[in-house]
A = this chain, B = another copy of it.
């Protein structure tokens, strides 16, 4: 089974299950037409994209470059990577439905079987080996948010935690053996930064080392790598534990185990070293003068030009499965999402159905959403303006139904909007709005932000 997305040890039965909480916010549905592939509704997709955008915003400073890679690869690739055998029943196989009409001039493999990818690593190896790499080019870090598929038994599927289709914030670092320390240190800092941002933790770090009997490479290689991992762990200043002999045969790893508010442990991030895949894909780089001088030999460089070396691959994921991470956040926030992440940051309620009121509601909605507006009245019928890529748009909802205010407020609170904004004749007059703040930890800031957007100070009637 995969080290990168292991199943949660016990079925999740915390006080409020993510599947129940997800209904309040209309995050996702499931369908018998695709068991284990949750369908993310607009609010769920919003959460998903915020998580993705947050990580993307961090990639430049950590040197990751995103790539976009295929969903299906021929069986022969999975045989080369070892997945076809080792992963066997966890994989879906894909076949063209009658690749007819060109049997005469068919390419070799025209009718070959494909596999639906359970992991991105083989694809990234193809990208690495597309160019001649020098020791100076390393580390090379490819990130990939592709959808992945693993064929779990349908009886085991549940919500966002036990799925067949999921996305990882997956990345592979191709580095020299002497770069492992620096890469692991950076990765641990990355993990810390992300988990702090979401207020997740504490977490513990687990180092799994060389198994006793069956392993690839030399003892020296393992020792050298493990020493770097241990140093990085110590330098991180966090608690860490040793799982001696518990590593995979192809490399040591670090697991990040998160404790939630109910004391339940979740394995989320993983950092897995890999000495095997570089060998299977015959990955190499032109050695540095130092490497040539010391001239180490090992099974994994056998057959290589003496001027070349194999890189080490580090598989790493910080969220792990985004779907599972979302489930975790749903329970972590229990419906009270911070403003920047909230799929329901604000709703505007109209006090009446006067056209002037409705116009003001629509104006506030546009302004608070972050939309560029036409400058003059007559522009209203002109072509829409292109919105800038740097604008963060907020999904501001409105309720302009004929219902009374009490009912509207009750409905809005049930849906857990961070802010409830009420607009009537008075607000039309003043050009302002009446604000109720719910589920918003940083109240003064938000008053300021909204006020600044409007260019006015806000009246506030707090609740909760």
What are 19 A-B contacts with C-beta separation under 8 Å?
A: A29-B127, A33-B73, A34-B73, A34-B114, A35-B107, A40-B69, A42-B66, A45-B66, A50-B389, A57-B387, A57-B389, A58-B386, A58-B387, A61-B371, A61-B387, A92-B94, A92-B96, A94-B116, A189-B384
Once bound together, how far apart are the Cα atoms of A33 and B68, in whole Å?
A: 15
A106 to B57, CA, bound (A): 43
**Nearest CB to that of A89 among chain B residues?**
B98
In Å, the complex CA distance between A85 and B65 comes to 41
Contact of B95 with A72 in the complex, beta carbons under 8 Å: no
Interface size on A, residues (CB 8 A): 93
A97 interface neighbour in B66, B68, B89, B386, Cβ under 8 Å: B89
Chain A residues packing against B (C-beta within 8 Å): 29, 31-35, 37, 39-42, 44-46, 48-50, 53-54, 57-58, 60-62, 65-74, 76-77, 88-89, 91-102, 105-107, 109-110, 114, 116, 123, 126-127, 130, 136, 142, 147, 149, 151, 153-155, 165, 189-190, 192-193, 197, 340, 366, 369-371, 383-393, 395, 401
Q: Which of B62, B68, B91 has a CB less than 8 Å from the CB of A40?
A: B68
CA–CA, A369 to B369, complex, Å? 27
Q: How far is A32 from B129 in the complex, measured between Cα atoms in Å?
A: 14
Judge whether B383 and A109 touch: CB under 8 Å: no
Query: In the complex, are the beta carbons of A39 and B58 less than 8 A apart?
Result: no
Docked complex Cα distance between A69 and B197 (Å): 28
Question: Roughly how many angstroms separate A69 CA and B371 CA in the complex, as a whole number?
Answer: 27
Is there an interface contact between B153 and A33, defined as CB atoms closer than 8 Å? no
A297 CB, nearest partner CB in chain B, Å: 29
Is A126 a contact partner of B389 (Cβ separation < 8 A)? Answer: no
Q: Which residues of B contact A96 (CB under 8 A)?
A: 89, 92-93, 151
Q: Give the secondary structure class of A's interface.
A: mixed
Which residues of the partner chain B approach A66 to less than 8 Å between Cβ atoms? Answer: 42, 45-46, 49
**CB pair A391 B390 closer than 8 Å:** yes
Q: How far is the CA of A232 from the CA of B191 in the complex (A)?
A: 52
Task: Give 10 closest A-B pairs by Cβ, nearest first.
Answer: A37-B70, A42-B65, A40-B68, A34-B70, A33-B77, A96-B151, A57-B387, A60-B393, A89-B98, A45-B68
Q: Which residues of B contact A34 (CB under 8 A)?
A: 70, 72-74, 77, 114
Given contacts A49-B66, A151-B99, whether A193 and B383 have CB atoms under 8 Å apart is: yes
Q: How far is the CA of A72 from the CA of B197 in the complex (A)?
A: 34
Nearest CB in chain B: distance from A132 CB, A: 14
- Given that A116-B72, A391-B390 are known contacts, is A105 also in contact with B41, CB under 8 Å in the complex? no
B154 A110 Cβ-Cβ under 8 A: yes
Give the residues in chain B near A106, CB-CB below 8 Å. 154-155
Contacts of A130 in B (CB 8 A): 29, 41
Nearest residue in B to A26 (C-beta to C-beta)? Answer: B131
Taking the closest CB of chain B, its distance from the CB of A5, in whole angstroms, is 17
> In the assembled complex, how far is the CB of residue A402 from the closest CB belonging to chain B, in whole angstroms?
11
CB distance from A148 to the nearest CB of B (A): 10
Bound-state Cα–Cα, A369 to B65, Å = 14
| Residues of chain B lying within 8 A (CB to CB) of residue A37 | 70-72
